[in-house]
Amino acid sequence: MAEKSFKYVIIGGGVAAGYAAREFAKQGVKPGELAIISKEAVAPYERPALSKAYLFPEGTARLPGFHVCVGSGGERLLPEWYTEKGISLILSTEIVKADLASKTLISAAGETFKYQILIIATGSTVIQLTDFGVKGADAKNIFYLREIDDADKLVGAIKAKKGGKAVIVGGGYIGLELSAALRINNIDVSMVYPEPWCMPRLFTAGIAAFYESYYTNKGVSIIKGTVAVGFGTNENGEVTDVKLKDGRVLEADIVVVGVGGRPLTTLFKGQVEEEKGGIKTDSFFKTSIPDVYAVGDVATFPLKLFNEIRRVEHVDHARKSAEQAVKNLFLVALEQLGDSLEELSCLYLKTNSRGILQAIFASEQGTSIDEYDYLPYFYSRAFDLSWQFYGDNVGETVLFGDNSPTSPTHKFGTYWIKDGKVVGVFLESGTPEENKAIAKVARVQPPVDSLEQLATEGLAFASKI
Ligand code: FAD
């Protein structure tokens, strides 16, 4: 089979790949230089839509409506955009072998791809109950949600099992968003998770109490403190019930499992330095191997604000890390060309590239691009609720606002305080201005004299920073 060769290759065609492609175009990538190789059959899209409007009976989101970069208010990159820019979108192609030493990738169909610079953007995969040998976990109508194919199968089941029963296994953000989406489809929903409250990795007991009551009022039955240990099936191999560890058995036509994910780094094991489960990078997303970058869910990077290294599985970081890596690799390429102002100016006149303009600016200032300085940002939407969180959820907490699940004007939040400073803020039902204000607080980390006063001031404290 013929070998294909590119200057730049991105493995993975998800959120990070799409935002990287846009940045490549901004930096003046030339036709034929860049390829995106993706296991999925569609151009990069905003993955969070899959657990939200993609599943709604009304106002349903479908491609091409949510291709990147609409999720951040940017231009929608349709498949034609890649063609116009001369970017090869190599879809339905899974890379099964990566040899970083010889800069070679091999696909499942046996094609060989060579690159000069590689960006790893393989994202995460779901943890499956079959991985733990749970009995009956391979039954039909047990779903996981990561890619658009998974979402299509779930949509098919929702239609086929109209008015039926669903059990959602897991109380994280997938569990909460999926329970809401299925309930909106008039399905009878039970949610099962082992922890004492939902989203324990982020929510405090106080935050979770609001959502659990709200969901209960919407008709979702919440079963805590136990796990699914087996599934019953009928003669067609379809799931019929979920057996819980505490002995209860729940009838089910549909099961959705959201028990976590893990970054897809297997292809590169032993070839590149790893840390905290991901591929270790610097602030420019360069890995331990020259000419290899890692972005999005797979990257373990320096989180400057907290002076730590972390891996972040959220869409905002996928977008920003991809842009940072591409900006950097253009700058590095320019440095290799020689960064005298004269040479750069000649190059700019020839190419009109924004990257070169930035390099001229950087060279005049005597600086290069800034280190990645990420403020962690997570959000979720379900039913008519919408929350945002910025910063770090460590230290003492202060709950504020109207957190009555039956109040028509509910709006509440939580501050996290460490070493006398606010380090994280959560807000439900914030306006755009209020969300901006909490982001600023998490970035500025103002000191706090009294927790009681902070609780009384509530959102007003954030608004005055
Ligand atoms: P991905 O977007 O997952 O892209 C990885 C791509 O690589 C995929 O196309 C995959 O098929 C491809 N790939 C993997 N291995 C190979 C291979 N060997 N060969 C070829 N291609 C390969 N985050 C939020 O902040 N807010 C939300 O509300 C939110 N909702 C979400 C809802 C769902 C259903 C899911 C699954 C995730 C959600 N996330 C959310 C998380 C967010 O979508 C991810 O953090 C983000 O997509 C990561 O981007 P990425 O490019 O690193 O990986």
Cα–Cα dist 114/74, whole Å: 31
169-206: per-residue pLDDT in tens? 999 999 999 999 999 999 999 999 999 999 999 999 99
250-283: per-residue pLDDT in tens? 999 999 999 999 999 999 999 999 999 999 999 9
Which amino acid residue places its CA nearest to atom 33 of ligand 1?
48
Q: How confident is the model at residue 352 (pLDDT cuts 50, 70, 90)?
A: confident
Q: Is the ipTM of this complex over 0.90?
A: yes
129-259 CATH, one of 2.40.10.330, 3.90.650.10, 3.40.50.300, 3.50.50.60: 3.50.50.60
**Close Cβ partners of 45 (under 8 Å, ≥ 6 residues apart):** 15, 18, 63, 66, 67, 68, 148
| Model pLDDT, residue 353 | 73
- Which atom of ligand 1 is the closest one to the Cα of 94? 19
User: Is this structure's pTM higher than 0.90?
Assistant: yes
Residue 123 in contact with ligand 1 by CB distance below 6 A: yes
Mean of per-residue pLDDT scores for the chain: 94
Closest alpha carbon to 413 in 203, 218, 215 = 203
How many residues are there in the chain? 465
- Residue 16 Cα to ligand 1 middle (Å): 8
Which amino acid residue places its CA nearest to atom 12 of ligand 1?
12
- Residue 18 Cα to ligand 1 middle (Å): 11
How much of the chain is in helix, strand and coil states, percent to nearest 5? 35, 30, 40
Q: How confident is the model at residue 148 (pLDDT cuts 50, 70, 90)?
A: very high
- Which atom of ligand 1 is the closest one to the Cα of 96? 18
Residues 65-76: what's their mean pLDDT?
97
Residue 47 in contact with ligand 1 by CB distance below 6 A: yes
Handedness of CA 120, 126, 128, 131 (dihedral sign): positive
Which residues in 429-465 belong to E strands, given as ranges? none
Residues 300-322: what's their mean pLDDT?
97
| Model pLDDT, residue 363 | 59
199-225: per-residue pLDDT in tens? 999 999 999 999 999 999 999 999 999
Q: Is the pLDDT of residue 340 over 70?
A: no
Residue 16 in contact with ligand 1 by CB distance below 6 A: yes
The fold of the 3-124+263-365 domain, in CATH, is FAD/NAD(P)-binding domain (3.50.50)
Domain positions in the chain are 3-124+263-365, 129-259, 384-463
Fold match flag (3-124+263-365 vs 384-463): no
200: helix, coil or strand?
coil
- Which atom of ligand 1 is the closest one to the Cα of 107? 19
Residue 105 in contact with ligand 1 by CB distance below 6 A: no
384-463 CATH, one of 3.40.50.2020, 3.30.390.30, 3.40.50.10540, 3.30.70.1060: 3.30.390.30
Q: Which of 37, 47, 174, 321 to mutate to test the pocket of ligand 1 (most atoms within 8 A of CB)?
A: 47
Residue 380 in contact with ligand 1 by CB distance below 6 A: yes
